[in-house]
Structure 1
Amino acid sequence: MAASRYWFAALALMAGLVAPTLADDLPTFTITFTADGTIDPPRIEVPAGRFKLVLINQSKDPVEFESLPLRKEKVLGPGVKSFVVLSISRPAEYPFFDDFHQDARGTLVVLPNP
């Protein structure tokens, strides 16, 4: 009985170590929140499916990537780089914005798979 607990713990540990590697293998796209309060690029095209958005805050203020239709938000402090993983199967245009700077807006365009 005790041995099975160790195997379970070992498997759980390995699963935790594998998860970051899986995110590294995804198609990756970058969105930058610039020092002048804009989003670059303001329109980004991605394939339908699972992908990673790298978010970079180049400003001296906090920013928040937020998309109401995608139900995603991520706050980044000044100079911080992070990411979100999304899985979207339905091709469409999904708006996003910086919740701290309401004029900074962009569009994520999910394209159908060929």
Structure 2
Amino acid sequence: MMRLAAALVLIGVFGAGAALAEAPAEPVTVALTLKDHRFTPDRVSVPAGRTIRIELANRDAALEEFDSDDLHVEKDVTPLGKASFTVGPLKPGAYSFMGELHADTASGVLTATAP
């Protein structure tokens, strides 16, 4: 009976360790600001293979839509408002984004790099 209990304890310990090792990593947070219909920063580098949380603050008095065909996202951000959303995990490469309502000035690139 003691051997069975010891075996169950070992299974529990190793099972918990495996579960912790496989837990997904927290998203990488990217803070973007939209001011004068331009993104700051307009070039961002993130690690590939990770989920990315984008936190967007609109400092303009106009509605904007964060739009990216590459990232498969469209997200409205109200005037002087904030929006947050996640994308990925991303493969290595460059992913363009823009402010759809001011695409002539509001644009940027998020680059996912291999670790």
Q: Provide TM-score, normalisation by structure 1.
A: 0.73
Across the two proteins, how many residue pairs are aligned to each other?
A: 88
Instruction: For 1:27 and 1:71, locate their aligned partners in 2 and report how far apart those are by CA, in whole Å.
Output: 18
Question: What pairs up with 1:29-40 in 2 under 5 angstroms?
Answer: 29-34=30-35, 36-40=36-40
- Indicate the RMSD between aligned Cα atoms, in angstroms: 1.1
Cα contact 1:33–1:39 (8 A) shared by 2:
yes
Stretches of 4+ aligned residues off by more than 4 angstroms: none
Percent of aligned positions with the same letter in both sequences?
30
Matched, 1:99 2:100: yes
Residue 41 of structure 2: aligned partner: 41
Q: What is the CA deviation profile of residues 57-86 of structure 1, one whole-angstrom value per residue up to 9, with x for unaligned ones?
A: 000000111001111010011011111111
Q: Provide TM-score, normalisation by structure 2.
A: 0.72
1:88 deviates by 2.7
SS of corresponding position for 1:88:
coil
**Gapped runs of 5+ residues in structure 2?**
1-25
Instruction: For 2:39 and 2:28, locate their aligned partners in 1 and report how far apart those are by CA, in whole Å.
Output: 20
Question: What pairs up with 1:62-81 in 2 under 5 angstroms?
Answer: 62-81=63-82
Residue 28 of structure 2: aligned partner: 27
SS of corresponding position for 2:51:
strand
Cα contact 1:53–1:85 (8 A) shared by 2:
yes
1:102 deviates by 1.1
